[in-house]
Amino acid sequence: MSAMTRVLVTGGAGFIGSCIVDQLVKRGTDVVVLDNLSPAAHSARPGYLNAAAEYVWGDVRDVAAWDRALDGVTAVCHQAGKVGLGVDFGDATAYVDDNDVGWVVGLTALHQRRFTGRIVLASSMVVYGEGRYRCAVDGIVRPGPRLLDDLDSGRFEPRCPLCSGVLDAEPIPEDAPLEPRNVYAATKLHQEHLTAAFAREHDVEACWLRYHNVYGPRMPRNTPYAGVASIVRSALERGEAPGVTEDGHQRRDFVHVGDVANANVTALLGDTPIVGAVNIGSGTPRSVLQMAEGLAVAMGSIPGDERWPTVTGLYRLGDVRHVFASTATAADLHGLRPLMSFDDGMREFATARLRESVNPS
C-alpha cells in the first residue's frame, strides 16, 4: 500500500494494539489510536505509548469518538474490546456491548464515510469451540460439549460422538466448523460476520485474524480477564505455585505478541491483500502444563520447590480441551511465519513488564 497510509488502531493503548502501533510507526506509517483506557485493563495511561502516534481518547461505542478518529484514515485495525472468558454469564451484557455494539458503531461510521480501505479485525481461536479431532474408526468428528459428570470425575478428554472411542487432536484449519462455547466466543464470531457483511456490501478488503494464545510484554495482570500465561507469571512472582486446571494436558498454541503484531501490519500494509479468516499462531502446540513449567524454569524455579506448578483438577465449564492452529494459510499463502520460539519467548516473558489494572469490571 501507499506510504501515505493512515491507519486507525482501536485499542491501540492495549497489549496487542500498542505493539501493532509500534511496528506501524517503525514502518513510517501515520497512526491514530482510539482507546478508552478502560480501568479493567489500565490503572493509568501507559508509559509505553508511542509518542509518534496520535491519540483519541474515547469509547468505540460512541460514534462521535469514531468521527474524531477517522479523519484521513485509509485502513482500520480493530483491536478494542473485552477479552477472556469473564467470570460468569453475568458478564454477557458487557461483552456484547463492548465487542458487538462497539464494532457495529464503528462499521456504521465507516459506512457513512463511504470507506474503501482495508479492515483488519482481531478475532480469536475461541470461535472454533473445541479443536479438530480424528477418530481411528470414524475419521474427522465433532465432539459435543463436555459433560459435567465427566469433568467432575476427571475425564477431560472428549470422546467420539459416534463410537465413544478415543480421539486424537489435530491442528485446526480456518474452514473448520465454528461453534463458540462461551459469550466472548460468540461476540468474536458475530464481529467476523459483521465484518464480512460490511466487506461484501462495500467491496473492501477485510480479514479477521484468529489469534491463538497470545503472550508477551504489556499483558494485563491482576484481572480475571488476563491470559493464562499472565496468570501463571503473577503467581510465580508472588512466590506461589501456579495452579493448572484439569490435568494440565490440554493443548494450546502460545504465540508471541510480536508475531501477532507483525501479522496485523502485513495485513494492513502488504502489497497482496489478506482476505477472510487466518489463524495466527506459532504452529507448535504446547500443553498448559508445559507452558507453566517452561515459564517457571525461566523464572528460576525447579521441580519440587514451592513455586513449581501444580495440577488442580479444577475446570471452567466454558473452556475446551484442545485447540491449536493450523498455520498453513498464514505461512504458505501470506508468508507469515513466527520469529519467536517458545523457549526464547518464555525467557523474555519471565522478566517482561506487565500492565496493571485497577479493577476487573
> How deeply is 138 buried, as exposed, middle or buried, from its count of CB atoms within 10 A (0-12, 13-18, 19+)?
middle
- What is the SS3 assignment for 304? coil
48 counts as catalytic: no
In terms of pTM, does the model score above 0.85?
A: yes
Instruction: Give burial (CB, 10 Å; 0-12/13-18/19+) of 152.
Output: exposed
User: All 3 cell numbers of residue 222?
Assistant: 491482576
pLDDT confidence of residue 222: 66
CA 286, 291, 293, 299 dihedral sign is positive
Q: Which three cell numbers stand for residue 137?
A: 474408526
Query: Distance (Å, rounded) from C-alpha 13 to C-alpha 33?
Result: 7
* H or E stretch at 57: strand 54-57
Compute and round to an integer the Cα radius of gyration of the chain. 20
**Bridge partners (DSSP) listed for residue 214:** 255
pLDDT score of 361: 39
Size of the chain in residues: 361
CB 21 within 8 A of CB 341: no
**Which of these is catalytic: 95, 128, 184, 225?**
184
Q: What are phi and psi of 185, to 5 degrees?
A: -60, -40
Q: 18 — alpha (psi -120 to 50), left (phi > 0) or beta?
A: alpha
pLDDT at 118: 98
Q: What tens-digit pLDDT sequence spans the chain (361 residues)? A: 444 799 999 999 999 999 999 999 999 999 999 999 987 777 788 999 999 999 999 999 999 999 999 999 999 999 999 887 666 788 899 999 999 999 999 999 999 999 999 999 999 999 999 999 999 999 999 998 888 999 999 999 999 999 999 999 999 999 999 999 889 999 999 999 999 999 999 999 999 999 999 999 999 876 655 688 999 999 999 999 999 999 999 999 999 999 999 999 999 999 999 999 999 999 999 999 999 999 999 999 999 999 999 999 999 887 889 999 999 999 999 999 999 999 999 999 999 998 876 544 3
